[in-house]
Structure 1
Amino acid sequence: MAQSRQGGCECGAVRYVVSGDPIVTYACHCTICQSQSGSAFGLAIRIHAEDFQISSGELKSFTRQADSGQTFTNSFCPDCGTRIHHKPSKSAGHLSLKPGTLDDTSWVKPTHHVFARSAQPWFIFPEDSQVFDTVPSDRSWITGK
């Protein structure tokens, strides 16, 4: 049975519930994710879109093209700007949730690192993680199939 997890934006205007188990937790080291996160990488938890529900507030969104060439719809709180998730065009049934928006992040640990070719030179990849120069062509790691 999947554990229900709650989260929300920085100002509290948007709250959500995730009812399903995560597919994968990954760190993306592409330059876009570095810019968006203001850090060395962006962290994401891939979930089934049907497992995500807004419990209060509403999201705004914009679309961008990633280093992979894929289009993403990025959703955020219109009041404080906190990015909640992004939806990939090639996996419409999935969302990549920003785990820093969860109320409890103690269990979050990335198992995969993508776009390692763009990683900051000082970053050391954990020995127990899978590391890819770009995004693997075999999408089973991120779709759960």
Structure 2
Amino acid sequence: MHIDGACQCGQVTYKAEIDPGDVTICHCSDCQRLTGTAYRVSVSAVRKNFHITTGDPKEYVKIAQNGRRRMQYFCPNCGSPIYTTGELQDAEQVGIRLGTVNQRQDLKPRAQFWCSSELSWAQDLRTLPRQDD
């Protein structure tokens, strides 16, 4: 599936070919802090199928809970997290932040990881009052 996307301000844009079945949720505490929310949702792409089309994302290197170095890329202007990648065996995969994908309505998570760090309320939002705008 072809996707494209951008950060909040539009300074950094990208395009990619992905498998729509490779959408995951991560509940680890690193992802909670890096996203500023309860969990991170990403779609994987093979490195050669991911291309920045405009802008130059800023890099932040984080040592993950599993000990691996993860390069986090975000917009230097608005701060939107855009994608992540790793080193060695992790270098061939790019984790694109789902919120930046223009086609995100067509993508559904298929797996969850680091559920031991999950916030207790994260799976039960149906009882909260809702507004459409």
TM-score, normalised on structure 1?
Answer: 0.79
In the other structure, the counterpart of 2:48 is 50
CA distance in 2, matches of 1:13, 1:19: 21
Compute the displacement of 1:47 (Å). 1.0
Name the counterpart of 1:101.
100
d(CA) in 2 for partners of 1:84 and 1:124?
A: 24
Q: CA RMSD in A?
A: 1.5
| Corresponding position of 2:109 | 110
1:13-52 matches, within 5 Å, as 13-22=11-20, 24-52=22-50
> Amino acid of the residue matched to residue 104 of structure 1?
Q
Aligned to 2:81: 83
Q: Pick the aligned partner of 2:6 from 1, 5, 8.
A: 8
Gaps of 5+ in 2: 125-133
Gaps of 5+ in 1: 126-145
Alignment partner, residue 70 of structure 2: 72
CA contact (8 A) 1:76 1:83 kept: yes
Q: CA shift at 1:19, angstroms? A: 2.6
* Paired residues of 1:74 and 1:83 also in contact (CA < 8 A): yes
Structure number with greater CO (CA < 8 Å, separation at least 6) is 2
Distance in structure 1 (CA, Å) of the matches to 2:31 and 2:21:
20
* Identity level (%): 28
* Structure 1 equivalent of residue 121 of structure 2: 122
- Residues paired across the two proteins, number: 123
Q: Distance in 1 between matches of 2:110 and 2:15?
A: 23
Q: 1:20 deviation in Å?
A: 3.9
| Structure with greater proportional helix content | 2
Please report how far the alpha carbon of residue 23 of structure 1 lies from its aligned counterpart in structure 2 after TM superposition.
5.9
* Aligned residues of 2:18 and 2:43 also touching (Cα < 8 A): no
Q: Distance in 2 between matches of 1:62 and 1:107?
A: 29
* Per-residue deviation, residues 82-126 of structure 1 (Å, max 9, x unmatched): 11100022411111110100112111211111100000112338x
